[in-house]
A and B are shown apart, each in its own frame.
Chain A
Amino acid sequence: DQQVKQNSPSLSVQEGRISILNCDYTNSMFDYFLWYKKYPAEGPTFLISISSIKDKNEDGRFTVFLNKSAKHLSLHIVPSQPGDSAVYFCAASARVFDQGAQKLVFGQGTRLTINP
């Protein structure tokens, strides 16, 4: 039972264009969502997060959108740069259910390749 799904295993985008990575979830108890970037042989690097009380959060080139009714979130990267090439994971947690505990449920990841 995969509660967080990233249906696109890979995505290729031209440098300077917008990259849009998508994530769907099934558990309505999730109330906090995060995006991580991962390079080979390194741990995931935190990018941006959003609480379920918001529908958008922006940090520089990165914007996360949350559509609670559709149980869908997306990460927009504008403009895309070659250094953005990595595997991107979305993650979710149910803070209230877990009494604030830090249990993240991850999607399977999307490999983003930025072409020059």
Chain B
Amino acid sequence: KAGVTQTPRYLIKTRGQQVTLSCSPISGHRSVSWYQQTPGQGLQFLFEYFSETQRNKGNFPGRFSGRQFSNSRSEMNVSTLELGDSALYLCASSLGRFSGYEQYFGPGTRLTVT
């Protein structure tokens, strides 16, 4: 069974630009979560989608948004990029509500904002 895939793996953007990251979950998994990893803050929860609905959100500004498609694939968007948005963005998938709480992570997208 293929694992979680994320594209692109590396990205360099300029302050003020916007970026879209993509995540394909493990086949059959309906929940997709996004996390940001930075050296200073560690792994922090961004949001989670299940059946195309965002059902939980972390403490990030509205510049961070996401969506999920009917095939469970998810995208994350960051608008008006700031230097502090430079991080590893991780996507994780799981079976979903009230079953399969283990989340399986993709390799991440390394975003550098200059």
- Chain A residues 7-38 with CB under 8 Å of chain B are 32, 34, 36
B103 lies within 8 A of A43 (CB): no
Assess whether A44 is interfacial by the CB under 8 Å rule.
Answer: yes
Interface residues of A, count at CB 8 A: 26
Provide the residues of chain A in CB contact with B44, threshold 8 Å: 106
A45 to B107, CA, bound (A): 10
A interface secondary structure, majority: loop
Return the contact of A104 from the options B45, B98, B107 (Cβ within 8 A).
Answer: B45
CB-based nearest B residue for A108: B42
| Pairwise interchain contact B94-A102, C-beta atoms closer than 8 A | yes
Q: Which residues of A contact B48 (CB under 8 A)?
A: 101-103
- Knowing A43-B90, A49-B102, A93-B101, the reply to whether A105 touches B55 (Cβ < 8 A) is no
Evaluate contact between A42 and B45: CB separation under 8 angstroms: no
Chain B residues, CB < 8 A from A99: 55, 97
Question: Nearest-CB distance from B37 to chain A (Å)?
Answer: 9
Interface string of B54-67 (1 = CB under 8 A from A): 01101000000000
Chain A: CB-nearest residue to B49: A102
Complex formed: what's the CA distance from A93 to B31 in Å? Answer: 15
Question: Pick the contact of A103 from B56, B98, B108 — CB < 8 Å?
Answer: B56
